[in-house]
Copies of this chain bind each other. A is one copy, B any other.
Amino acid sequence: MITADILVSGGTIVTLNDKDTIIRDGALAIRGDTIIAVGAKEEILAAHECGETIEVPQSIIMPGLINAHTHAAMTCFRGIADDMELMNWLNRFIFPAEARNVDPELVYWGSLLACAEMIKSGTTTFSDMYIFEELTAQAAKEAGMRCLLGEVLFDFPSPNIKTPEEGLAYTEKLIRKWADDPLINIMVEPHALYTCSPELLKAAKALADRYKVPLATHLLENKAEAKQLKEKLGQRATHFLKELGLLDERFFAFHCVMMDDEDIRLFADKGCKVVHNPESNMKLASGVAPISSMIREGVVVGLGTDGCASNNNLDMFQEIDTAAKLEKSARLDPTVMSARTVLKMATCEGAKVLGLDGVVGSLETGKKADLCIIDMNKPHLTPLYDEYSHLAYTVGGADVETVIINGRIVMRNRRLITIDEEEAMHRVRIIARRVKESLG
């Protein structure tokens, strides 16, 4: 008999491995932080003796979702202003609210609340860019969530950072501090081409190379940005990045709405990755990223919610649903994006974007035990003809019952184990009062 710490037993396992294996009446064995067996329930139970067995008949067991781009602490600004023209929204609400309020306390509690929301909707890994990211790392660590994050870098000061040099030094400190952590991964995150000088971009790349960590940035989010970059750079933005030496397999970009065929081919050639943010792009009226073209050309595409101010939630199941529907609608072709494709964007493909595909993104022996268990015994999930269809088009974050990250149960029967959610909500409500007052 093999010893396991946790057996998850009796549901349908949607592995999202390379062969798209689905195991009905399956089981999964975990020892420490690692999946040590996945297979038919009878075989797994016969071969393992185990401390704790989680029986989940009528459930789907799947990899935890990967939110490949967000700004977690912006939960504090959720719904503060909507339905406005982008520059008006930024200049009248978001930027002043941030300048007057963002401090370590806001970032810590906002990030912890985000972790609560993410776990409760099946997300186990998130990729984050914001200010005071040490506090986001701390919140994720306490929540037991996996993440890849970086301090936002730009030419001008932030509430945390006075100069680009300081931002790079802060990032390097983060990298060194969390180097050996099993959950917290650090990357280098220049904000965007219109907010970072070529010097800052090059220095950011040098830092990322020195520690072999990913570098990620916002890119070509909408028409106005594309126009501004064209005038500023005198060439296409992707060529500019290539000349600076940023484009390689550890580079990924958020949004990429305005990328054309030439940009896509360049990304494919260089092995660069993309994070699609369909709900934020829709809400801000940014346009529709050419995701099906990217995937056809071989670009790896993940999925992210973006921050709460432009979504206004962190529910990746909604994002999956919207990613499929938006692409069909925009291309006037229902075959252009399948349920399976969008699910992969939120799991195994997202893991590739973050450089964590050796670690998570599918349920396979040897990978870390990051998974979510969905209760399928509900009216809106009945009947069940096809698991991929339900996971893409019908399941919502609230259907997630139990979440395991790195072998640790962080939510069970919708009760959070690592986070005091009442306290997190209470703290963020107090912060929100301060934010509201600051806007007059």
Contacts and interface: CB of A to CB of B under 8 A. Distances in A.
A183 interface: no
Contacts of A84: 334-335
6 contacts: A85-B333, A281-B329, A282-B326, A284-B328, A315-B380, A383-B429
Interface in A313-339: 313-315, 318, 321-322, 324-326, 328-329, 331-339
A382 B283 contact: no
A75 interface: yes
A243 interface: no
Nearest to A333: B285
B328 A393 contact: no
8 pairs of A and B residues whose beta carbons are closest in the complex: A383-B432, A398-B398, A282-B325, A79-B389, A282-B329, A116-B379, A312-B393, A285-B334
A329 B331 contact: no
Interface in A67-95: 75-76, 78-80, 82-86, 89
Interface string A30-44: 000000000000000
B329 A383 contact: no
A390 interface: yes
A82 B392 CA distance: 10
A428 interface: yes
A79 B285 contact: no
A163 interface: no
A299 interface: no
A380 B311 CA distance: 11
B383 A328 contact: no
Interface string A297-315: 0000000000000011111
A377 B425 contact: yes
Chain B CB within 10 A, most for which of A76, A79, A84, A333: A79
Contacts of A286: 329
Contacts of A385: 78-80, 432, 436
A219 to B, nearest CB: 19
A223 interface: yes
Given A326-B329, A383-B429, A425-B377, A396 B394 contact: no
A289 to B, nearest CB: 11
Contacts of A120: 379-380
A215 interface: no
Interface residues of A, number: 74
A325 B392 CA distance: 19
Given A285-B332, A285-B334, A335-B85, A425 B382 contact: yes
A288 interface: yes
Contacts of A396: 315, 318, 396-398
Given A83-B338, A86-B334, A334-B83, A76 B383 contact: yes
A113 interface: yes
A297 to B, nearest CB: 20
A318 B79 CA distance: 16
A136 to B, nearest CB: 16
Contact of A332 (B283, B287, B378): B287
A105 interface: no
Given A86-B334, A287-B329, 12 more contacts: A78-B385, A78-B394, A79-B390, A82-B338, A85-B333, A113-B379, A117-B380, A120-B379, A285-B336, A311-B393, A312-B393, A398-B399
A179 interface: no
Nearest to A393: B312
Given A83-B338, A399-B398, A382 B113 contact: yes
